[in-house]
């Protein structure tokens, strides 16, 4: 059992190979600290997405065995794919405003809102403002080998 104390955290050993700062206790990674802007941001390539970027803030690659935390950024007029999957989301809206589609119903969302999306629920985020819509979206790592189902009625905008 690791006991984190101020003294143990003072054994700070930055890692030169990534932007992450590791806090080591007896050679074991106890914590990782980083600024989100130092984490690579990638375009969401999934069909049905438009103007949507993602950062995998934390996940299996960091040693997190159970959950992945992603940060999404949807540009003005953009949207995530309309889709469902057999695992849940925990969402926190950081900035901006927009809508989330829950089945056939659209709900307004804004910064500070907290949203739970249950497994197999069709959902889609849209940016309704002229500034980016930014939110955190957590998934269990067990989701990574599970299928994502594109909603059949989803109008994919071809670029
Ligand atoms: Mn989803």
The domain spans of the chain are 1-34, 35-154
Tell me, in angstroms, the distance from the centre of ligand 1 to residue 113's CA.
Answer: 17
Confidence at 63, pLDDT banded by 50, 70, 90: confident
Q: What is the CA radius of gyration of the chain?
A: 18
Q: Once rounded to an integer, what is the mean pLDDT over residues 30-57?
A: 92
pLDDT exceeds cutoff 90 at 31: no
Residue 5, pLDDT score: 45
Q: Which of 134, 139, 18, 21 is nearest to 69 (CA)?
A: 139
Going from the Cα of 79 to the center of ligand 1, the distance in angstroms, rounded, reads: 12
User: Tens digits of per-residue pLDDT, 106-131?
Assistant: 999 999 999 999 999 999 999 989 99
Q: Is 35-154 CATH 3.30.420.10?
A: no
Q: How far is the CA of 123 from the centre of ligand 1 (A)?
A: 7
Separation of first and last alpha carbons in the chain: 53
Under DSSP, the state recorded for 113 is -
H, E, C per residue of 35-62: CHHHCCCEECCCCCCEEEEEEEEECHHH
- Rounded Cα distance, 59 and 61, in Å: 5
What pLDDT does residue 24 have?
Answer: 73
- For 45-61, the pLDDT digits (tens) are 989 999 999 999 999 88
Tell me which DSSP letter residue 6 carries: H
- Average pLDDT score over the chain: 83
Residue 1 CA, ligand 1 centroid: distance in Å:
35
State in Å: Cα 134 to ligand 1 middle: 15
Whole-structure pTM value: 0.81
């Amino acid at each position: 059992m690791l006991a984190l104390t101020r003294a143990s955290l003072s054994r700070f050993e930055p890692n030169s190979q990534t932007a992450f700062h590791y806090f080591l206790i007896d050679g074991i990674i106890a914590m990782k600290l980083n600024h989100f802007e130092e984490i690579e941001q990638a375009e969401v390539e999934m069909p049905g997405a438009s103007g949507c970027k993602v950062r995998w803030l934390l996940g299996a690659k960091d040693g997190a065995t159970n959950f992945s935390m992603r940060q999404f950024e949807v540009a003005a007029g953009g949207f995530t794919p309309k889709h469902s999957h057999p695992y849940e989301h925990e969402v926190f809206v950081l900035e901006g405003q927009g809508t989330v589609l829950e089945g056939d119903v659209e709900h307004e969302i804004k910064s500070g809102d907290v949203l739970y999306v249950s497994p197999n629920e069709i959902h889609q985020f849209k940016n309704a403002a002229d500034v980016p819509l930014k939110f955190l979206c957590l998934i269990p790592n067990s989701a990574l080998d599970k299928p994502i189902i594109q909603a059949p009625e989803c109008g994919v905008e071809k670029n």
